[in-house]
Amino acid sequence: MNDDAIGDDALLTRYFDALLAPACARGSDMPTAPVVPDAEAERAPVTARRYRCCQVGSLRLALPMAAVAAVRPCPVLTPAPPTAPPWHLGTLVESTRRLHVVSLAALTGATPGPGRTDVLVVLDAGHWALACSDAEAVIELRHDEVRWRARGGTRPWLAGTALAHGCALLDILGLTGLLASELEAMADKTGMGAPA
């Protein structure tokens, strides 16, 4: 056969070259032509995911349960340095890590509302705790109930909106990426060490 004559190495190189070529459209931009004829490979609908809702004034922000380590009252914080970004409320030391406390109101531009923002939602990874006024509610959302936003843009913390539930979905990775880069920029400016 022709392929045998080419040799394994050439075939593999061709395969790798194609796989690592500049990307074509994917995901929602994918061409709609059916790629797999058999039913077995059909994608089953993704099951609902649980989200915890944080209230910030009139804004309801949902974040994936998987990202939350704990919800608890906000203790007295070590104040943030004056050069810190406006969302930085201060720090607190947990057993093994120093947490930066983030004002969701300042970050999202939401009006904080009359209630106190004294509840902390501690994220599981990284070193962040989000301050809000209430984080009791847990909701279930299906993937198709969310209007997902494309990544990037001016609000990397926003993953999408779920109108039926009246909430915006936080993009944890976008959010923490933004927070980390702003803290790092502050550290660079002031010559302080980067956040641990």
Partner 1 sequence: MHIWAIANQKGGVGKTTTAAALGGLLAAEGRATLLVDMDAHASLSSYFGIDAPPGGGSYALFADGAQRLRDEIQRTRFERMHLLPASPALATIDRQFGARPGMGKVLAEALAEVAGLYEYVLIDGPPTLGVPMVNALAACTLALLPTQTEFLALRGLERMLQTLAMLERSRGAPIPRLILPTLFDARTHASVACLRTLRERHGPVLARATIPADTQLREASHAGIPAGAWPGARRGGDAYRALLGELRESGPISAKAHRA
In degrees and rounded to multiples of 5, residue 147 shows phi and psi of -90, 100
The whole-angstrom separation of Cα 160 and Cα 62 is 10
Decide whether 97 or 116 has the Cβ nearer to partner 1.
97
- The alpha carbon of residue 136 and the mean position of all alpha carbons in its chain are separated, in whole angstroms, by 20
139 has which bridge partners?
51
Decide whether 90 or 156 has the Cβ nearer to partner 1.
156
The whole-angstrom separation of Cα 84 and Cα 165 is 34
Shortest distance, position 163 Cβ to partner 1, whole Å: 18
Decide whether 1 or 21 has the Cβ nearer to partner 1.
21
Q: How far apart are the first and last CA of the chain?
A: 59
Position of tokens 């070529």? 21
Position of tokens 């509302």? 113
**What residues line the site for partner 1 (CB under 8 A)?**
9, 12-13, 16-24, 26-29, 35-36, 40-41, 43-47, 49, 64, 66, 69, 96-97, 124-126, 143, 148, 150-151, 159, 171-174, 176-181
Shortest distance, position 19 Cβ to partner 1, whole Å: 3
Shortest distance, position 179 Cβ to partner 1, whole Å: 8
Decide whether 66 or 138 has the Cβ nearer to partner 1.
66
Shortest distance, position 193 Cβ to partner 1, whole Å: 12
